[in-house]
Amino acid sequence: MGCMLVPHTLRCDAFTARSACQASARQLTGQPYDAFLVLDVEATCREGTDLNYPNEIIEFPICLLRWKDSASDGRASKLEIVDEFRSFVKPTWRPTLAKFCTELTGVTQDQVNNAPLFPEVLTLCRQFLVKNGLIDCDTGRHLVTYCWCSDGPFDVRDFVVKQCFISKIVMPEWLQGDVLDIRMAVNNWLNYRTSRTTQSYGRLPTSGITRRSLNISAQLKALGLSEFQGRQHCGIDDCRNISRVLVELARRGISLQPNTVIYPDKRWHWMGKPGQVLDYALT
């Protein structure tokens, strides 16, 4: 099967009685979004290439999170995973996976050979959003406010935009919009904790102290959570662990707002006509 909708209950990290008491006493923070879609794609890659390579998406997983305690004025602090979407994707430009790619992502040649093409995956993903009441079935109009989230800016900003070009499709409106880069949010929180300077409670500074970029495992550790659960670089496992980070940021009273701008018409040097990858530009 190329696609599966996976019911899931988020494993909760244990808190001490003291921290639980502090969390319950903390004033709830105003939150601008009703739902969050954590996306962590896996894509074709070759050893030695960078983010300018024409990667094709081979796994498209999502964790959908909603508030458990949203007040009428939008204040909330408790997020939970309520549903999941996952599909492998069949690449077309370079349909044979490199050994390096399979070893890194765990995605096999058989899985992508039997998977739907990217346009069909987007159709299935749209159905997932409709099923969960995020968009209107007929118009695609947002029925609630939701924000895409990822570890770093790359998943929607780069990989999805590249894939839409390769697949010769327009990036769907329901997939557009600014993104919450969780890695940046954690980094900003660490800066805030160190400097103790912020313009208003729950708002994170975006400049000042420079820190090393933290991968998912390091983010979990920085927030005092248990270690990574599952296989790193497996898209759905990455999504679940990024979701754990998001849940913890919400619990700490952080206002979860987008911090990464998406440009659906972004171009790379290897792009020719729609769907055309200029091989000579890669040498």
Q: Residue ranges per domain, the chain?
A: 35-201+210-281
pLDDT for the residue numbered 207:
52
pLDDT for the residue numbered 117:
98
Enumerate residues 6+ apart whose C-beta is below 8 A from 116.
Answer: 2, 3, 87, 89, 90, 124
Chain segment 124-167, per-residue pLDDT in tens: 999 999 999 999 999 999 999 999 999 999 999 999 999 999 99
In angstroms, rounded to a whole number, what is the distance separating the alpha carbons of residues 277 and 283?
12
CATH for the stretch 35-201+210-281 = 3.30.420.10
pLDDT for the residue numbered 262:
94
Which portions of the chain are predicted below pLDDT 50? 1, 7-25, 197-200
Among the listed residues 185, 253, 249, 260, the one whose alpha carbon sits nearest the alpha carbon of residue 30: 253
In angstroms, rounded to a whole number, what is the distance separating the alpha carbons of residues 268 and 250?
36
Bridge partners of 39, per DSSP, are 62
